[in-house]
Amino acid sequence: MSQELLVIGGGLAGCEAALAAARSGVSVRLVDMKPAEFSPAHHSPRLGELVCSNSLRSDAITSAVGLLKAEMTLLGSAVMQAARATAVGAGKALAVDREAFAGHLEGQIAAQPLISRETARVDELPRDVAVLATGPLTAGALAEELAKITSSNHLLFYDAIAPIVSLESVDMQRAYWGDRYGEPGQGDYLNCPLSREEWGEFYSALISAEQVPLKDFESPKFFEGCLPIEVMAARGEKTLLFGPMKPVGLEDPATGKRPHAVVQLRKENAEGSLLNLVGFQTKLTYKSQDLVFRKIPALARAEFVRWGSIHRNTFLDAPRVLDPHQRLKAAPHLFVAGQLSGVEGYVESAAMGILCGVNAANLLHARPLLTPPPTSALGGLVTHLQNTATKSFQPSNINFGLLPPLEGRVFKRLRGAAQARRGLSDFLAWMEASSLAPAGEIPELPEETT
């Protein structure tokens, strides 16, 4: 068995897997097809490109994704290091300057002497120990080989990207800064209000707009956590008013009143010169986007530096084809990391990359493979990937519903803190039992209250 680990794919999961294995003393060959070749959704030649939003979601440890971030930090996550170093204002969320983020991640790879990089497209499944982190756009010969070895077809769903506008082009007479329930006129989000009449005109244009047609052999299976804005709108106008355009807690300082609807813009870079339309991922044609999104008064004359788009995402039927260590059952020398394994989201993909990197190194060193406790956020993701009870497996973000229920009665407002206390406590005990030293400071646990 070769003692070199091959990691295929230079996204978040691939970078985390490569660095985790290298920290364990394993030589790693990181192969990515960029910049020689790009997928339909990638544009940057850098590793760790953030294709969709620049947000890594909530940073509160009392949220499931916040707990996952804390666990990743303890494991030495490169993505968390890069995110902290390149963060931009986003209220209670952790968002990054995506170019600076990718540069920081590349710097960590370059600084690791046990990692060598190679630009190539891999079309055959490796015969030696490897981590497949080719992402949700895995296609071509490699996808065909995966389909054959798993004795099943890949499942498909579609992911959509939100538009980006330049700050200087937004009509600031029709917009105001403010976080939800924050001080009026202050905050990290630029809010674009709509009156009832303006909302009606916008909604009518949205539900009648032309969409990008799907190919005859494709059927749309959108991930619920990233629905296109027009798909949500088709479920009824209240879907948007209780979703991405919810005005609650965003009173307009100019009037002191709550608008009928609000579009929030979030910083895309450290300078704040580019703004992302939060929740406005879309599969509308560019022409339709130009028509519909200019119905938002503050964006009537905005410069759209990137239109929204749609691309195919591919994932494995994990409960049927992966073992508890994210290895292909039909080829246990091959680990599958990231979205291809059946998790959804930047943070989740990176987390599974760390776990695959650690276990791939353990396999090469003839050490036991590790599975985090089910009460932890990382363990909850593994549990989801092993849920054989589901008849139609679908990708999932981390959420407390993937973890075992808390014992006894816990008030709803206290459950997040209780989950964090239990999860971190069990995770630290697991790390100690697995001879994994915490890579950073142990997060402060929320105090237990009644």
Q: Averaged over 330-339, what is the pLDDT?
A: 96
47 vs 375, residue with greater confidence: 375
In whole angstroms, what is the distance from residue 57 CA to residue 347 CA? 9
In this predicted structure, the answer to whether residue 217 has a pLDDT above a threshold of 60 is no
Tokens 């329930």 sit on residue = 181
User: Half-sphere exposure of residue 296, counting CA atoms within 13 Å on the CB side?
Assistant: 25
Residue 416's contacts (CB-CB under 8 Å, 6 or more residues apart) are 60, 62, 63, 400, 446
Query: How many Cα atoms sit within 13 Å of 47 on the Cβ side?
Result: 30
Query: CA 100 to CA 245: how far, in whole Å?
Result: 29
Q: Is the separation of the CB atoms in 82 and 48 below 8 Å?
A: yes
- What is the per-residue pLDDT for 325? 97
Report pLDDT for 129: 97
Give residue 248's pLDDT. Answer: 95
CA torsion sign, 174 to 180 to 185 to 190?
negative
Minimum mean pLDDT among 183-192, 219-228, 381-390: which range?
219-228
What does the pLDDT average to over 185-193?
92
Comparing CA positions, the residue from 189, 194, 158 lying closest to residue 174 is 194
Closest CA to 144 of 169, 170, 123, 120: 123
- CATH numbers and ranges of domains, the chain: 4-154+316-433 (3.50.50.60), 160-312 (2.40.30)
Element (DSSP H or E) covering residue 379: helix 377-385
**Does the pLDDT at position 125 exceed 50?**
yes
pLDDT at position 395, please? 84
In tens, the pLDDT along 99-110 reads 999 999 999 999
Angle, alpha carbons 56-60-61 (nearest 5°): 110
| Alpha-helical regions (H) of 117-172 | 140-149
Alpha carbons 414 and 46: distance in angstroms, whole number: 41
For range 125-148, the mean pLDDT: 89
Average pLDDT, integer, range 341-349: 93
Q: Average of pLDDT values for 427-435?
A: 97
pLDDT band at 448 (very low <50, low <70, confident <90, very high): low
What's the CA gap between 109 and 446, in Å, rounded? Answer: 34
- Within 10 Å of residue 22's Cβ, how many Cβ atoms? 21
**Strands 130-132, 4-8: parallel, antiparallel or unpaired by DSSP?**
parallel
Asked if residue 368 lies in contact with residue 299, where contact means CB atoms within 8 angstroms, the answer is no
Per-residue confidence (pLDDT) for residue 383, from 0 to 100: 94
Number of neighbouring beta carbons within 10 Å of residue 262: 28
3-class secondary-structure state, position 352: helix
Residue 153 has a pLDDT of 64
Does residue 414 register a pLDDT over 60? yes
Which helix (H) or strand (E) segment holds residue 284: the answer is none
> In this structure, what token pair is assigned to residue 274?
């580019």
* Phi-psi map region of 211: left, alpha, beta (phi>0 left; psi -120 to 50 alpha): beta
The candidate with the shortest Cα–Cα distance to 433, out of 343, 361, 370, is 370
Cβ contact 353:405 at 8 Å: no
Q: How many helices (H) and strands (E) does the chain have?
A: 13, 17
Within 10 Å of residue 2's Cβ, how many Cβ atoms? 14
Reduced to 3 states (helix: H, G, I; strand: E, B; else coil), residue 299 is helix
pLDDT over threshold 90, residue 79:
yes
The CB-side HSE value for 193 (13 A sphere, CA atoms) comes to: 23
- Cα 136 to Cα 150: distance, rounded to the nearest angstrom: 16
pLDDT at 269: 79
Q: Chain-wide mean pLDDT for the chain?
A: 90
**Phi and psi torsions of 199, nearest 5°:** -60, -45
Torsions phi, psi for 316 (to 5 deg): -85, 155
Question: Looking at the chain, how many residues does it have?
Answer: 450
pLDDT average, residue stretch 35-40: 73
What's the rounded mean pLDDT across residues 234-254? Answer: 94
pLDDT band at residue 226 under the 50/70/90 scheme: confident
Distance between CA atoms of residues 9 and 23, nearest Å: 18
* Nearest residue to 384 via CA among 369, 372, 397, 371: 397
**Adjacency order of strands within the sheet including 115-119:** 115-119, 27-32, 4-8, 130-132, 331-336, 327-328
242 vs 384: CA distance, rounded Å: 28
**Residue 156, amino acid:** L
